[in-house]
Amino acid sequence: MSVITKSFSLKTKGDTDIIDITGQVINALKEARLSNGIVTVFVPGSTAGITTTEYEPGMLKDLPDLFEKLIPKDDSYHHNLTWGDGNGYAHVRVALVKSFFTVPFVDGEMILGTWQQIILIDFDNRRRQRQIVVQMIGE
Ligand code: ZN
């Protein structure tokens, strides 16, 4: 049993920017040279989340539309009164999406559906540089 931790970074535009990171996770898994186990993808920070969807143009509109309905950017948030940073909506959205996604891998490949991509969603109200951690536990 081994634990191998890798990471990569990317730039985001913020404002519910959705980025397909499946390829980077596949690369990390290949470099780890493990056959069977689980991989956890994690983003440090309290305004970006990781989840899954079919990464296609319609969904890139549907997801931001849903978040705007559920947790509108311009609502009043106690967080904004506390810090004045205006991204209270981003922290609330991340609490629902979560900061990590875990996938089993078998024979060196993640068991993802054909149309199932791993996505980073950056909700912050400004551009960000994000470090993504990929930790594999297996053999
Ligand atoms: Zn904040």
Give pLDDT tens digits for 30-84: 999 999 999 999 999 999 999 999 999 999 999 999 999 999 999 999 999 998 9
- Between the CA of 75 and the centroid of ligand 1 the distance, in Å, is 14
According to the model, what pLDDT value does residue 40 have? 98
pTM for the predicted model, two decimal places: 0.96
- Between the CA of 26 and the centroid of ligand 1 the distance, in Å, is 32
Q: Where are the alpha helices (DSSP H) in the chain?
A: 22-32, 57-70, 78-83, 88-97
- Between the CA of 12 and the centroid of ligand 1 the distance, in Å, is 17
Is it true that domain 2-138 has CATH number 2.60.120.460?
Answer: yes
- Between the CA of 84 and the centroid of ligand 1 the distance, in Å, is 8
According to the model, what pLDDT value does residue 17 have? 98
Residues whose CB falls within 8 Å of the CB of residue 71, separated by 6 or more in sequence, listed in order: 89, 92, 93, 96
- Between the CA of 92 and the centroid of ligand 1 the distance, in Å, is 10
According to the model, what pLDDT value does residue 117 have? 98
- Between the CA of 76 and the centroid of ligand 1 the distance, in Å, is 13
According to the model, what pLDDT value does residue 131 have? 98
- Between the CA of 85 and the centroid of ligand 1 the distance, in Å, is 5
Average pLDDT estimate for 91-113: 98
Mean pLDDT of the chain: 97
Average pLDDT estimate for 19-37: 98
CB neighbours of residue 135 within 10 Å: 18
- Between the CA of 91 and the centroid of ligand 1 the distance, in Å, is 7
Whats the size of the chain, residue-wise?
139
